[in-house]
């Protein structure tokens, strides 16, 4: 189309990512409706890490669809085991293509300096726990994440929610650096300061850190929910911060959420305040944990409040894989 021909490379990549995230969401909905998730545990003896047919098929769809159009870029997905799908997605979002891109981004050309980080299904545990498509409170925690980095820095991303609360309708939230966030209404401020954190790991040190935030007036309550994508949507919609004080979170969990949050004026770093790096050869683990804050709070207040003991337990390992 004419719009596609006029658009810069990054506009095409973001537009294609938006569209394929929606197709992946439809695929996930279809697999849940069939009722056989085909759950396997890819974790260790101590860590349950479920993977479903939806993860495997959605990853194949996203990676193959993007790689077919953009052969020079790096794409890193969470799943090693994938399931082939017959029809790839070659469409793109007109909403993205119609936007003029800032010159620092429109000059970027297709190359290996572009890394797309894909979590085809963030919140697998929640998907596996939802008995059917009526459990919207659980299913809203499932997201499709596509984050785009250039020379190690995040430039754009998509969080697609196959089921949003309360209607169960899908929604796609996307952002480009300098172009703001689209598809969501960002909360201006909130009297309550809700901290969202993970359900899975509650160590004594983490609980102590959460208490310290409360003592300093930086937290009025803690909500434990699944999925990094969903937690950042919560921060955009009125929660104050998302604290993940363990090393279990990966680059594909944070790439898209960071793009969306920072385009809205929020901030995402590790718990010591270091920027996350997204180049292709970097280790996959966010070994320093994650702190994400809403546009209306002060990120450094939260960094300062987190105890040194906790920060020292999550060093930044530069080890390249």
**What pLDDT does 128 receive?**
82
124 in catalytic set: yes
Structural domain boundaries enclosing 63 = 2-182
3 state DSSP class of 221:
strand
What is the end-to-end Cα distance of the chain in Å, rounded? 41
Residues 262 and 124 in one domain: no
Closest among 279, 228, 287 to 256, alpha carbons compared: 228
Residue 198 and residue 178 share a domain = no
Q: Is residue 146 part of a domain?
A: yes
Annotation-wise, does 213 bind a ligand?
A: no
Q: How many domains does the chain have?
A: 2
The partner residues of 50 in beta bridges, in order of sequence, read 41
Q: What is the pLDDT of residue 319?
A: 44
Integer angstrom CA distances of residue 133 from 37, 54, 67, 136, 137: 13, 14, 31, 7, 10
Task: Tell me which residue has tokens 């546009």.
Answer: 295
> 318 lies in a domain?
no
- How high is the pLDDT of residue 243? 94
Rounded Cα distance between 214 and 218, Å, is 6
Closest CA to 264 of 223, 295, 304: 295
* Catalytic annotation, pick one of 49, 52, 95, 124: 124
Q: For residue 194, what pLDDT is reported? A: 98
Residue spans of the chain under pLDDT 50 = 318-321
Asked whether residue 253 is marked as a ligand-binding residue, the answer is yes
pLDDT for 121 equals 94
Polymer length in residues for the chain: 321
For position 306, which CATH number holds? 3.40.190.80
Structure tokens at 255: 């790439």
Residue 281 assigned as binding residue: no
Q: Which residues contact 269 (CB under 8 A, 6 or more apart)?
A: 275, 276, 290, 291, 299, 303
Collapsing DSSP to helix, strand or coil, 251 comes out as: helix
Q: What is the CATH number of the domain that holds 38?
A: 3.30.540.10
Q: Do 29 and 104 fall into the same domain? A: yes
Q: What angle do CA 166, 140, 293 make, to 5 degrees?
A: 105
In a domain, residue 317? The reply is no
- Give the other-Cβ count within 10 Å of 217's Cβ: 10
Q: Is 298 helix (H, G, I), strand (E, B) or coil?
A: coil
Q: Give the pLDDT confidence score for residue 320 in this predicted structure.
A: 40
The model's pLDDT over 138-154, given as tens digits with 9 standing for 90+, comes to 999 999 999 999 999 99
The domain boundary residue, chosen from 115, 150, 182: 182
Examine the domain organization and report whether 230 and 308 are in the same domain. yes
Does residue 254 carry a catalytic annotation?
Answer: no
């Amino acid at each position: 189309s004419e719009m596609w021909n006029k658009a810069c490379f990054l506009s095409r990549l973001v537009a294609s990512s938006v569209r394929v995230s929606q197709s992946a969401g439809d695929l996930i909905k279809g697999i849940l409706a069939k009722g056989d998730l085909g759950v396997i545990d890819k974790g260790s003896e101590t860590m349950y890490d479920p993977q479903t047919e939806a993860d495997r098929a959605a990853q194949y769809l996203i990676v193959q669809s993007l790689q077919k159009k953009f052969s020079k870029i790096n794409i890193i997905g969470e799943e090693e085991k994938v399931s082939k799908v017959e029809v790839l997605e070659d469409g793109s979002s007109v909403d993205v293509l119609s936007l003029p891109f800032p010159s620092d981004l429109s000059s970027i050309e297709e190359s290996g300096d572009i890394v797309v980080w894909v979590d085809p299904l963030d919140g697998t545990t929640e998907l596996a726990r939802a008995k059917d498509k009526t459990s919207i409170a659980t299913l809203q925690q499932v997201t499709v994440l596509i984050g785009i980095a250039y020379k190690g820095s995040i430039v754009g991303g998509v969080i697609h929610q196959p089921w949003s609360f309360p209607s169960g309708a899908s929604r796609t939230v996307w952002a480009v650096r300098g172009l703001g966030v689209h598809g969501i209404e960002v909360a201006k401020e909130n009297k309550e300061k809700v901290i969202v954190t993970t359900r899975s790991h509650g160590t004594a040190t983490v609980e102590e850190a959460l208490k310290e935030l409360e003592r300093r007036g930086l937290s009025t309550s803690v909500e434990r929910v699944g999925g990094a994508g969903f937690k950042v949507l919560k921060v955009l919609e009125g929660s104050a911060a998302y604290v993940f004080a363990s090393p279990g979170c990966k680059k594909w969990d944070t790439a898209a959420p960071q793009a969306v949050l920072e385009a809205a004026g929020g901030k995402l770093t590790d718990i010591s305040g270091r920027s996350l790096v997204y180049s292709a050869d970097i280790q996959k683990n966010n070994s320093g944990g994650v702190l994400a804050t809403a546009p209306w709070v002060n990120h450094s207040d939260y960094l300062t409040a987190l105890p040194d003991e906790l920060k020292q337990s999550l060093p930044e390992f530069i080890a390249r894989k």
